[in-house]
Amino acid sequence: MARLGFINRVVGGSNEREVKRLSSGIGAIEDLAEEFSRLSDEELGGLTKEFRERLAQGETLDDIAPEAFATVREMAWRKVEERPYSVQLMGMMVLHQGKIAEMKTGEGKTLTAIGALYLNALAGKGAHLVTVNDYLARRDAAWYGPVFHALGMTLGVIQNDHIQFLYEPGYRPGEDGEGGLDDLRPCERRDVYRTDVTYGTNNEFGFDYLRDNMVRESELKTQRPLFYAIVDEVDNILIDEARTPLIISGQAEEASGTYQQFARAVRGLHVELDYQIDQKAKHVALTETGIAKIERALRVDNVFGGDPRVARHLEAALDAEYLKHPDREYVVRNREIVIVDEFTGRMMPGRRWSHGIHQAVEAKENVPIQRESLTYATITFQNYFRLYEKLAGMTGTAETEAEEFAKIYDLDVVVIPTNKPMVRDDQEDVVYINEKAKFAAVVEEIVGMHGHGRPVLVGTTSIEKSEYLATLLQRRGIDHEVLNAKQHEREAHIVERAGESGAVTIATNMAGRGTDIKLGPGVREAGGLHVIGTERH
């Protein structure tokens, strides 16, 4: 404990020195504020061309950084009425230096990012903003699109299902028979990667890299060499999901009847008597009794000593039956099994479990069984993001993983001070004897806060539990919204209302990353947003 305290003092001291050093650079940016405020929009936007010419003549990004940040600061105020605070300017510097900026919730990470994106995009090699879901990528690109456009920069957005957009102010869906969204015009994948700034998810950037490595001619590649990226929620992507493999695969031949046979064989086994679950290892082990039952059901003499395919199918069937639960690890949608991301709580269409597990779940749920896959190309997030020439990150919680970031990615963490003193009241955990008692207490707390006009956000760890809590509130006559993978289309609407007086929102962890809840009239006076976490995750 004494050594841990010493390390904390050393780390804390080094961070204070870094913050002090960064603070000295803020003045150079703020000194330009008055001068730049007198420029017309055209003159301010014209600085982009001037900066690029100076880079071509031998100046570096570091040389022009103060002016570039001052330019973004002024244009952001004019176009979206957001002027970065001094601490956000500090964050821009940290991101440009290829470090991780730890900024507390509500301190404006998204606005901070555009300064570093703009500066590094001036190099002409592309700058990527990597976020955890399509909604955030689309929302942030549309919101800050006017800033980049006014500065003479192109902006693209990558989405799942091979959908992509270019930011084009004034564009409306339906023109020329095209789809898209307001100010976002559909385009080719390659065009998005030719823009100055590209917003997208870690999955899409990674899969596009794999696809590019499968084409024979370089002209068919979509991505340019990976230059600069800012990873939002960097602890989630680079630590929690670091070893998650992205896989491009084709289909192998396998009889669907085999999966159905094994699904029937493992159904109805009794825990402890027939099998045991190791929750930590996420493994199901059969007892001697269970093995005997399976061998009788399959009419085989030795389930583990004969054909290895039998053991493989059995492992997959046990995993599907006893470790994969509907509305927790997956949902059934349009007679397909769609995986739910355990970290973000969002559906991941197109992603499939390997080693026959996805087919085993399809057999369990009696939906069409798709053929098993052969892996053509794969890469982990850890290895993909190491390919960038310069990498930076943002999150509200990075300091605890500082050692891992330094060791694996050579990334330093800088804790950015808050603009205003922290007023959040963090209370102690409360432990209940069982889940029923816990949720009863949660409902009582919601009812009490709702009665005082305070909005309540309740975090759950699965779709199943969010719907259970919703049922309890319905019985008490409390109006509420549920935000989970099944309602992801209504996400923007639900989040928009979550801060209004008396609003009750039940959410899985899909609402925990990048969600910006605005407080409605009178809420601050009533005590602010009340957040209840139903369990640790």
H/E segment holding residue 158: strand 155-159
Confidence of residue 115 (pLDDT cuts 50, 70, 90): very high
Cα three-residue angle 290-291-293, rounded to 5 degrees? 65
- C-alpha to C-alpha distance for 461 and 331, rounded to whole angstroms: 14
pLDDT at 264 over 90: yes
DSSP 534: S
DSSP 114: H
Residue with token string 């050692």: 403
Poorest-pLDDT segment among 84-93, 119-128, 216-225, 419-428: 419-428
Q: Which residue has the higher pLDDT, 10 or 27?
A: 27
Contact between 52 and 45 under an 8 Å Cβ cutoff? The reply is no
- C-alpha to C-alpha distance for 393 and 29, rounded to whole angstroms: 22
- C-alpha to C-alpha distance for 225 and 126, rounded to whole angstroms: 9
Which of 90-99 are b and which e, b meaning 16 or more Cβ less than 10 Å from the residue's Cβ? Answer: bbbbbbbbbb
Compute the half-sphere exposure of residue 306: CA atoms within 13 Å on the CB side of its CA: 11
CA 332 to chain centre: 22
- C-alpha to C-alpha distance for 289 and 300, rounded to whole angstroms: 15
Contact between 303 and 295 under an 8 Å Cβ cutoff? The reply is yes
pLDDT at 131 over 60: yes
Domains 13-247+381-415 and 253-371 agree in fold: no
Contact between 515 and 469 under an 8 Å Cβ cutoff? The reply is no
Cα three-residue angle 249-251-254, rounded to 5 degrees? 135
User: Residue 316 to residues 208, 275, 276, 311, 362: CA-CA distances in angstroms?
Assistant: 29, 14, 15, 9, 11
| Most confident segment among 139-148, 250-259, 453-462 | 139-148
Single-letter code of the amino acid located at 402: A
Residues in a beta bridge with 326: 330
Confidence of residue 240 (pLDDT cuts 50, 70, 90): confident
Residues in a beta bridge with 202: none
Confidence of residue 380 (pLDDT cuts 50, 70, 90): very high
Contact between 89 and 69 under an 8 Å Cβ cutoff? The reply is yes
Instruction: Kindly state the average pLDDT of the residues 362-371.
Output: 92
DSSP string, 433-469: SSHHHHHHHHHHHHHHHHHTT--EEEE-SSHHHHHHH
Q: What's the fold here for domain 253-371? A: Pre-protein croslinking domain of SecA (3.90.1440)
Instruction: Kindly state the average pLDDT of the residues 357-377.
Output: 88
Poorest-pLDDT segment among 85-89, 295-299, 511-515: 511-515
Contact between 231 and 242 under an 8 Å Cβ cutoff? The reply is no
DSSP 9: H
- Report the pLDDT value the prediction gives residue 510, as an integer from 0 to 100: 58
pLDDT at 512 over 60: no
Class of 435-533 in CATH: alpha beta
Instruction: Kindly state the average pLDDT of the residues 390-398.
Output: 91
Poorest-pLDDT segment among 110-119, 171-180, 398-407, 519-528: 171-180
pLDDT at 257 over 60: yes
pLDDT at 287 over 60: yes
Give Cβ neighbours of residue 121 (< 8 Å, ≥ 6 apart). Answer: 127, 153, 196, 197, 228
DSSP string, 256-323: HHHHHHHHHHHTT--BTTTEEEETTTTEEEE-HHHHHHHHHHHT-S-TTTS-HHHHHHHHHHHHHHHT
- Report the pLDDT value the prediction gives residue 178, as an integer from 0 to 100: 60
Instruction: Kindly state the average pLDDT of the residues 230-241.
Output: 91
User: Residue 355 to residues 267, 282, 317: CA-CA distances in angstroms?
Assistant: 20, 15, 11
> What are the pLDDT digits (tens) for 453-474?
999 999 888 888 888 999 999 9
Domain boundaries, the chain: 13-247+381-415, 253-371, 435-533
Instruction: Kindly state the average pLDDT of the residues 9-36.
Output: 85
> What are the pLDDT digits (tens) for 295-337?
999 988 888 877 788 999 999 999 999 999 998 899 999 999 9
Per CATH, domain 13-247+381-415 is 3.40.50.300: yes
- Report the pLDDT value the prediction gives residue 216, as an integer from 0 to 100: 84
pLDDT at 1 over 50: no
pLDDT at 9 over 50: no
Confidence of residue 10 (pLDDT cuts 50, 70, 90): very low
- For residue 396 the two structure tokens come to 């509200």
pLDDT at 515 over 70: no
- C-alpha to C-alpha distance for 110 and 129, rounded to whole angstroms: 10
With H, G, I as helix, E, B as strand and everything else as coil, classify residue 173. Answer: coil
- C-alpha to C-alpha distance for 252 and 255, rounded to whole angstroms: 10
- Report the pLDDT value the prediction gives residue 198, as an integer from 0 to 100: 98
- Report the pLDDT value the prediction gives residue 6, as an integer from 0 to 100: 33
With H, G, I as helix, E, B as strand and everything else as coil, classify residue 360. Answer: helix
Contact between 139 and 118 under an 8 Å Cβ cutoff? The reply is no
H/E segment holding residue 53: helix 41-56
Is the pTM here over 0.85, yes or no? no
pLDDT at 25 over 70: yes
Compute the half-sphere exposure of residue 197: CA atoms within 13 Å on the CB side of its CA: 30
Contact between 81 and 65 under an 8 Å Cβ cutoff? The reply is no
Confidence of residue 135 (pLDDT cuts 50, 70, 90): confident
Residues in a beta bridge with 339: 330
With H, G, I as helix, E, B as strand and everything else as coil, classify residue 160. Answer: coil
- Picking from 329, 349, 341, 327, the residue whose alpha carbon sits closest to that of residue 381 is 341
- C-alpha to C-alpha distance for 139 and 401, rounded to whole angstroms: 28
| Most confident segment among 333-337, 388-392, 429-433, 505-509 | 388-392
Residues in a beta bridge with 323: none
Q: Which residue has the higher pLDDT, 179 or 318?
A: 318
Q: How many residues does the chain have?
A: 537
Instruction: Kindly state the average pLDDT of the residues 361-386.
Output: 90
Contact between 332 and 357 under an 8 Å Cβ cutoff? The reply is no
Average confidence score pLDDT of the chain: 89
pLDDT at 488 over 70: no
- Report the pLDDT value the prediction gives residue 123, as an integer from 0 to 100: 98
DSSP string, 215-253: -SSGGG--PPP--EEEEETHHIIIIITTTPEEEEEEE--
